[in-house]
Structure 1
């Protein structure tokens, strides 16, 4: 009997950042390596990637990374992973091409070339484990599910999927293959939960195309389309609708051009007309009713760009009366506030807004019926909902119970939870500690909870600075405290608060100077504690308090003066 463990490194109780470790005996198989973008309070954080700590400790056991598709939630963390782990990566032609775009900016990875192309017919024998794949329907071509076959049954990872009977060949699900996998015996199903809460059936892509085409046909002015760059299916529909309605398309953004030109080069995306795409700088050569501007990006980035267009801060496009802004990507629940704010800004600019999700129930992810059909085809013994916040995973669990999966065979996991197959049962085992790794610019993992807490305080309550000069040798204050503030209070209308704060600092500093055992650390903490207490009492806010103490040592020899600055701002604590 094989020794099996399942460990979610990311992708549970959260949207995106998919990464799952399947251990079979002494080997570890990594399924996807994704990231997520901060949605509500970024606080300077660019992206969030999985915590590789456990994998670092077991690096020698990792067989490889197996990718389901080319979206950032599946491949986005790959550059950071490959910086540390020199292991092979398996994916389809398009998925690998998009992964290479992600890693080419990293100088360390310029010589990395351990990519292996697979498709739905590929079967890789690793001795006691076989990895194979099956086609699924998603918003990008060549989306795959993964089968990890062991002597105790298969672990099946759906990746992102939905069922659409009208899907074109590059997007079709292989139902017969799913039935074969189910007949062969499925131990556990890791199932996409992103759309599990939606009680309605999602419309097929033919209906979505008709909406896009009608919108292009019956609009006289310019159309600005917002779409995620890697949503290749939607980009194809936009190209087709533009060509059928005698419009030209201009792309904005470097990311869009790279992804779209890569898909065109690999023939995963087709241009209905050779001259359909025109440079953005040339789009104004055409009448406005012949223009389509395709604004793409990652996650919420198209919305941010639309906001800039509406207030005339975009580098190339400004919205005006007569424009139609067409948002063609269905946002996550966490983005709803941003969508509403973006719509409001666009209307203020005089343009109109249209969204696919307001008119049609569209999604690239499985509905309740899709989830249950997948379970009935595969007939898993255990179901593990993944890819979604807790309520979505819980809705997926309800789908599993409805098709007869016993409640005790359904696991709603946290990151770091471990399921172990023992004595013919899959049971919870001792977990491991797994967090998130925050990416801020070029910094990887150097942003922790303390830094985020300080950033939140600065954003919400500002900073309060107290500057004072002392002569420690003479035990006296040379220059009285000076108070300044940024983002906390308006100094001109808060003179009483400033005066009292200066008095508090004066008293604390003099008390510390009079103490025979003077200690810089104690002085800093003393100022912080007393000011924090007073300021909260007066304002009910907690600004970041920064004491700056300058020490002056006066030597009368040759009437020289030496000034030594000792900034005593407390250094950032380490977690």
Structure 2
């Protein structure tokens, strides 16, 4: 029997950042290595990746990274991970190609080349563990699930999946392989929960393709399509529809161009018309009725790009009368308010808006029926729902109970939980320290809760800077306090508040100067505390207070002047 620990480093009780470590005896297998895009409260943060301090302490035991598909929530953290862990990376041809794009953009990893292309026929032996793969259906070709075969049974990680009987080649699920894995015996199943709230059947991609074509056919004006850069299936449907109605397509965005060129070079994107793709310059010479502009965004909803177009801030595309903005992605719950505001802006610009989610439920994730079908294929002894917020994990757990999995064999985990199998039973044991690592510009992990708290305070209540010049030797204030405020109050209409604040600072500084046990730290803290109480009493706000205390020595300055004069007279 094997000793097994399953540790989520992300992807549970949150959207994105999928990463799961499976310890089998003395080996650690990393399943996916993703990031998530920050929500509004993470001011200034570009992306969030898992904290892998535990893995640093056990780096010699990490045998490799195994990827399910090429979306950012599965491969986005790989460039940062490979900075520290020089281990092999395994994935399908398309997944590895996109992973290389991300890794090559990191200057420290440009020469890294320990990538290995695998497919559903591949088996990799690591002592007593065999790693194999199975085909799944998702919005990107060649997505796969992962099987770790151990002495105690299979550990299966589905990755993102859904079932679609109309899926085309490269997107089809191997149902026979799923049945085979279930027959072999599954100890634990880690299954995608992102669609656990969706009842009924997942929307067929065949129906979505027909909907896109119908929209193109019955639109007589320019079409701006908003989509996800890495949703290769959707991009193929847009290309096919444009070709059938005789339109040309403009790719808007450098990231999109790189992904499309990579997919085309691998034969994963096919153009029916060799002259389908044109530049923005060429598009401006055509009748708008002949043009489709494909706009994408990092977070799945290219909202900011659409807003720039609606307000005239985009140098290439300005929305106007008769344009149709066609949103072909399903916005996340966190973006719903922003999407509605964007719609309003688009209508104000004179354009029309049509969203595919208004009429269909386009999703690359399994619905409730699909989730239960996967559970019935696998028949796991233990079940761990992953990839989703708590409400989705909980709903998935309920679905598992409906198909006969005992409640005490289902684990809704949080980051850092150790789901332990000792050879006889599985349970949640101890925890390891797992947090988030925030990326801001080139800084990795140098932004913590204190910095974020300061950013939130600055954003909400502004900053209050007070500058005082003192002569500590003579125990007097040389220059009256000067106050500068940004984002707190409008100074010109709050003169009295500024004067009272200056007077309070003056008194506080003089009290400290008169004190025999003068201390710089105490002086600054005293100014902060008294100003903070006063400003809150007056405004009910807590700005960031920054006291700047400068010291001069007037006696020394006079002596210096005398010496200088004497020197000149000689």
TM-score by length of 2: 0.97
Whether contact under 8 Å (2:300, 2:329) holds in the other structure is no
- Partners in 2 of 1:359 and 1:40 — Cα distance? 29
- Residue 93 (structure 1) aligns with: 93
Q: CA RMSD in A?
A: 1.2
Shift of residue 40, structure 1, vs aligned partner = 2.4
Q: Structure 2 matches for 1:169-188, cutoff 5 A?
A: 169-188=169-188
**1:149-160 to 2 correspondences below 5 Å:** 149-160=149-160
Contact 2:227 2:300 in 1 (8 A): no
User: Contact 2:16–2:34 at 8 Å: present in 1 too?
Assistant: yes
Give 3-state SS (helix, strand or coil) of 1:344's partner: helix
Do the aligned partners of residues 508 and 111 (structure 1) sit closer, same or farther apart at CA in structure 2, a change above 3 Å counting?
Answer: same
**What SS does structure 1 have at the residue aligned with 2:552?**
strand
Alignment of 1:401-420 (within 5 A): 401-420=401-420
Relative to structure 1, is the Cα distance of residues 24 and 248 closer, same or farther in structure 2, using a 3 angstrom cutoff? same
Q: Give the structure 1 partner of residue 539 of structure 2.
A: 539
CA–CA separation in structure 2 for the residues paired with 1:558 and 1:454: 42
Corresponding residue of 1:45? 45
Q: Equivalent residue for 1:143?
A: 143
1:526 corresponds in structure 2 to 526
Q: Secondary structure at the match of 2:54?
A: helix
In the TM superposition, residue 241 of structure 1 has moved relative to its aligned partner by 0.3
Aligned equivalent of 2:313: 313
Shift of 1:301: 5.6
Q: Contact conserved, 1:70 with 1:95, CA < 8 A, in 2? A: yes
How far did 1:141 drift?
0.1
Give distance in 1, aligned partners of 2:225 and 2:26.
49
**Distance in 1 separating the partners of 2:419 and 2:296:** 39
Structure 1: how far apart are the matches of 2:232 and 2:331?
A: 16
Higher deviation after alignment, 517-526 or 432-441: 517-526
CA distance in 2, matches of 1:303, 1:455: 24
The residue that corresponds to 1:222 in the other structure is 222
Q: Does 1:261 find its partner at 2:261?
A: yes
Give the equivalent residue in structure 2 for 1:383: 383
> Matched residue of 2:147: which SS?
strand
TM superposition shift of 1:284 = 1.2
Residue 507 (structure 2) aligns with:
507
SS in 1 for 2:273: coil
Distance 1:513 1:113, change over 3 A: same
Q: Any residues of structure 2 matched to 1:408-487 within 5 Å, and which? A: 408-487=408-487
Instruction: Indicate the residue corresponding to 2:3 in structure 1.
Output: 3
Partners of 2:27 and 2:61 within 8 A in 1: yes
Hey, what's the Cα distance between the residues in 1 that align with 2:330 and 2:341? 16
> 1:169 Cα deviation (Å)?
1.3
Task: Give, in angstroms, the shift of residue 200 of structure 1.
Answer: 3.3
TM norm structure 1: 0.96
| Structure 1 pair 552–560 and aligned structure 2 pair: CA distance change class (3 A) | farther
* 1:287-302 matches, cutoff 5 A: 287-300=287-300, 302=302
CA distance in 2, matches of 1:396, 1:68: 20
1:553/1:561 contact within 8 Å kept: no
Q: Deviations over 1:266-300 (max 9, x none)?
A: 00010110000001221111111100000012115
Q: For residue 382 of structure 1, report the CA deviation from its aligned partner.
A: 0.7
Q: Is contact 1:300-1:335 (8 Å) kept?
A: no
- The alpha carbon displacement at 1:423 in A equals 4.3
Aligned to 1:551: 551
2:248, 2:276 within 8 Å by CA — same for their partners in 1?
A: yes
Q: Which stretch has the larger CA shift, 60-69 or 481-490? A: 481-490
Correspondence for 2:568: none
In the aligned structure 2, how far is the partner of 1:33 from the partner of 1:560? Answer: 69
- Segment drifting more, 442-451 vs 204-213: 204-213
Q: For residues 413 and 514 of structure 1, what CA distance do their matches in structure 2 show?
A: 59
Distance 2:219 2:301 in 1: 25
In structure 2, the CA distance between the partners of 1:561 and 1:19, relative to structure 1 (3 Å rule), is farther
2:13 and 2:58 map into 1 onto residues whose CA distance is 25
Is 1:201–1:361's contact at 8 Å kept on the other side of the alignment? no
Contact 2:242–2:249 under 8 Å retained in 1: yes
Quote the Cα distance in structure 2 between the aligned partners of 1:504 and 1:408.
63
Q: Which residue does the alignment assign to 2:76?
A: 76
1:323 equivalent to 2:318? Answer no
Q: Which residue of 1 aligns with 2:237?
A: 237
1:105 paired residue number: 105
